[in-house]
Chains A and B, each alone.
Chain A
């Protein structure tokens, strides 16, 4: 008998693992806590080192997994409990109410259009707004909106119901309640991904205090065509194009006062972001302040060279110590030492982008896995079983196991899928 597998997390790693399992004829449940699958990759504009559009790679996979007969998407859901052991896990999943009937909704989006209430957009990292009833992003899978109780006038004040009035499919259901789903699965793949460390921990950079200091993910949304400004790079303080953008590497990474580990993807991500800035604003001056450039993957060194030679991006070795904001212009003065020349320098920037390091996105209280000293999920053996956690039958893929780029996440996902399939097919 072929038993099902549960994949926790619907990012690129979770999607890849699910597809690889489903194609073998194994039933897969993807549990995703956000309303749509897609994860971090959906938030990216382009990918390194080829500058391919991230959505163009990701969305076909999202659709493929969404339509796969062997895959069940449990979006807007969280794992509540895991019992049992390898080959026989009893899992309880809590499906949060969307207040939209998934079986009736056609995804026309009229409700979103008509909703009069706004809230800050999580997908856009707090830049820009969305409605109280919203799609996670335009290419969401499943394309079913969700009502955000905290910002919905009906839930808060008892009046409105505009969405209900306009919904032709009569899909709005304000009476939905949380639903518990019980599954029995052979194995589990953890692909819950990462979140950025809180850049406020590096106080001297003034994130949160200075308007024009951004995190890398915020900048990704800013340059993205699906972002809050439709790809227009403008400053938070005055909506003007920046003339000089300074990218700062290793923020809260490789820093013993915050996180000691290297976040792996930031060197290439910032290189890419600087290139994108140049593509959007050909006259912008891009400066990357780094400690070391780790161009480790295939084509990465060439990508880095291209950034310098073709796009004229300046890379200067030195970790900035502090940033000061000019009160009038809201420009930023970055203090750093050009360590190749050995002199202190101050550079004025219109915009600063912090390459904030990655840390584990909490996997939730139900999933109790041993963690490594860096806080990521611990694997049994880094060399020989890199996707096996210390709990038999539970596998890990992608950034939950440590910082890495998209190709490595996908590789791990396939590796985890084959491991998980062994139990599902009764081979072990």
Chain B
């Protein structure tokens, strides 16, 4: 391994503050509520960055075990913002595993603007030139945009994005696996352990996010849960719920764009989840605007894009429902188009931006669980 001092500079492009001021006292690791004797972070990560040990950095799951409560940043005797350095490492890893598009998205505002601008125009172009009949007397959403076209675009996009996401996901997994220390006494985890670990991770970590709850010193935990954990969970559950309703709409309980009673289960689920998504993403935006905690202070444009897209998808979705129920054809068609463009962007950007953290974090925790680190 060679020391590469330029690596720290490189990481600064992903939002890491000045790393050189850290003198490795270890306060951050010792204050961290999630750090343990088997996985000690964030100081070790910072040291890897200072020394430019990129491979080492990519082979340990620690960056993804951190939920950024910023206890470390609040108490750092050097004000080196260790929490934000961890955040920058996560951004860097997303860029690393997302190929050249992700790298450019994270490092060039111009590219990001062009990419989002052009792809949105492309979606608008598709809607403008390939929409169906426009009935101005009553709202007929799926005559305006036939389900078959939405499905076609959705499936095509889904495959491309899915494969890309899977590629990053697997690559992360392989790298993390390579980093597991091999000692003569350690045995390979059984298949059963992997399966069990997978489901435990899915339920406890991905859905319930139990580690996020523990991520703050005890005295301030309640506030932390109210300000950070609750909105995050609302965002997650809102999004997953909406994904579920959409899937149900296209499979088990299809409609043809007609108005269904508000009490209809999928409709109700959709509205509740929409509100959850709006509340969650809205709170995150407010927190970041007000810089309410250290963890909300340093927002890069890539952080903003993700949360704003989530918020917009919620806003347009709710508006669409309102106009639909208010029988306002023109506004319904406009909001449907906007909603689809936002969702298109959200899915398109998923493997290249912050969205993918959901998968990467799960992978890292899964591997750490199976090997008994957490």
Enumerate chain A interface residues (CB-CB to B < 8 A).
Answer: 204, 250, 254-257, 291-292, 317-322, 335-339, 342-346
Contacts and interface: CB of A to CB of B under 8 A. Distances in A.
Contact of A335 (B23, B30, B77): B30
Given A337-B26, A346-B37, 12 more contacts: A256-B77, A256-B78, A317-B26, A318-B30, A319-B26, A321-B26, A321-B30, A335-B30, A337-B29, A339-B25, A344-B32, A344-B36
Given A322-B30, A322-B31, A339 B24 contact: yes
Contacts of A204: 31, 75
A246 to B, nearest CB: 13
B66 to A, nearest CB: 13
Interface in B20-72: 23-32, 35-37, 40, 43-44, 47
Contacts of B27: 319-321, 337
Nearest to B29: A337
Contact of B30 (A254, A257, A337): A337
Most buried by B among A256, A292, A321, A342: A321
B77 A344 contact: no
B30 A336 contact: yes
B44 A342 contact: yes
Most buried by B among A319, A335, A337, A339: A337
A254 B78 CA distance: 8
13 contacts: A255-B77, A256-B78, A291-B23, A318-B26, A318-B30, A321-B75, A322-B31, A335-B30, A337-B30, A337-B40, A339-B26, A342-B47, A344-B29
B193 interface: no
Contacts of A292: 23
Given A335-B30, A336-B30, A319 B40 contact: no
Nearest to B39: A344
Most buried by B among A338, A339, A342, A344: A344
Contacts of A317: 26
Given A256-B77, A337-B29, A344 B35 contact: yes
Contacts of A344: 29-30, 32, 35-37, 40
Contacts, number: 67
B24 to A, nearest CB: 5
Size range of the chain B interface in the assembly: 20 to 34
A339 B22 CA distance: 13
A346 B24 CA distance: 18
B256 interface: no
A321 B30 CA distance: 5
Nearest to B80: A256
Contacts of A256: 76-79
Contacts of B31: 204, 321-322, 335
Interface of B: 23-32, 35-37, 40, 43-44, 47, 75-79
B47 to A, nearest CB: 8
Contacts of A321: 26-31, 75
B40 A342 contact: yes
Contacts of A346: 37
Given A322-B31, A344-B40, A291 B78 contact: no
Nearest to A257: B77
Contact of A336 (B24, B26, B79): B26
Given A255-B77, A337-B30, A339-B43, A345 B37 contact: yes
Nearest to A254: B77
Most buried by A among B29, B37, B43, B47: B29
A317 B25 CA distance: 8
A343 B25 CA distance: 12
A346 B36 CA distance: 10
A318 B44 CA distance: 12
B43 A337 contact: yes
B174 to A, nearest CB: 24
A291 B44 contact: no
B33 to A, nearest CB: 10
Most buried by A among B30, B36, B78: B30
A319 B37 contact: no
Contact of B79 (A254, A257, A342): A257
Most buried by A among B25, B36, B75, B79: B25
A343 B36 CA distance: 8
Contacts of B79: 256-257
A257 B76 CA distance: 8
Contacts of A336: 26, 30
A255 B74 CA distance: 12
Contacts of A257: 75-77, 79
A88 B331 CA distance: 89
B303 to A, nearest CB: 26
Nearest to B26: A337
A261 to B, nearest CB: 12
A322 B29 CA distance: 11
B32 to A, nearest CB: 8
